[in-house]
Amino acid sequence: MNSSSDQDPQDSAPELEFGAVFGEASPLKKTGRQTTPAVMGADAQSTAARRAAAIELVQEKAALGEQGFEMVQSEQSITYSRVGLDGGSLRRLSNGHMRPTLTLDLHGYRVETARDSVWNAVKHGQAEGDRCLLIIHGKAGAGYRDENGELRGAGQALIKSHVNHWLQQLDAVLAFTSALPQDGGTGALYVLLKKVQKRG
């Protein structure tokens, strides 16, 4: 049984000053969301530039749309070049004289994944200074299952047709043409990329 003289150990602890325990207090900063930093240093500027560039790239990739899309035949040979490209460059490309330094194989890819991969390969290749890519799109595919589980696109050159359509929408692409038999023939494309101007 506790007597009245017993004290709780916490009651007997010496009182401590608030400042000694928690440090000096300072006024809180004003509340509310700050939309722009008061001073933009070099790090903040480079972060903002990277963020803006990333947003622009995402928008460009998302812009690879379906408008004007047409199916091409499995064995059809494809050739495309931008207005102003000299005929000599297109001939060298189609004759295999410009050898690919980067290869993308799309066998087994679904359309959405293929789109992202084509876009990434073109951007990466251009950033690395590659002038010629080889994109292996294949020919007639096994098709895909839609949201109802029904088979669509079986026997059609679905990926090939989409790659043909997407590449024409990318500013980095100057030309593309079906590859020589040893590189995949009508199941692959040589892609000529625009040369990036070096800064500085």
Select the more confidently predicted residue: 134 or 40.
134
**CA separation (Å) from 30 to 27, 34, 172?**
9, 10, 47
Q: Could you tell me if residue 111 is inside a domain?
A: yes
Q: Could you tell me if residue 5 is inside a domain?
A: no
Count the domains in the chain.
Answer: 1
CA dist 41 and 44 (Å) reads: 5
Q: What is the CATH number of the domain that holds 113?
A: 3.30.1370.110
Q: Could you tell me if residue 69 is inside a domain?
A: no
What is the span of the domain harbouring residue 130?
A: 79-193
In the chain, % of residues over pLDDT 90? 46
Least confident of 16-25, 143-152, 179-188: 16-25
CA dist 152 and 138 (Å) reads: 17
Q: Could you tell me if residue 122 is inside a domain?
A: yes
Strands (E) in 22-117, as ranges, are 79-81, 102-105
Q: Could you tell me if residue 59 is inside a domain?
A: no
Statement: residue 188 has pLDDT above 80: yes
Q: Which of 97, 85, 112 is CA-nearest to residue 173?
A: 85
Query: Cβ distance 139 to 127 under 8 Å?
Result: no
In the chain, % of residues over pLDDT 70? 59
Q: What is the pLDDT of residue 184?
A: 96
> The whole model's pTM is what?
0.63
Reported as a single tens digit per residue, the pLDDT across 11-23 is 555 555 555 555 5
Q: Could you tell me if residue 136 is inside a domain?
A: yes
Q: Which two tokens stand for residue 75?
A: 């064995």
Statement: residue 172 has pLDDT above 70: yes
Q: Could you tell me if residue 165 is inside a domain?
A: yes
Reported as a single tens digit per residue, the pLDDT across 77-125 is 999 999 989 889 999 999 999 999 999 999 989 888 999 999 999 999 9
Number of helical (H) and strand (E) elements in the chain, helices listed first: 6, 7
Q: What is the pLDDT of residue 122?
A: 95
**Confidence class for position 29, pLDDT limits 50, 70, 90:** very low
**Taking all residues of the chain, what is their mean pLDDT, rounded to a whole number?**
76
Q: Could you tell me if residue 113 is inside a domain?
A: yes
**Confidence class for position 73, pLDDT limits 50, 70, 90:** confident
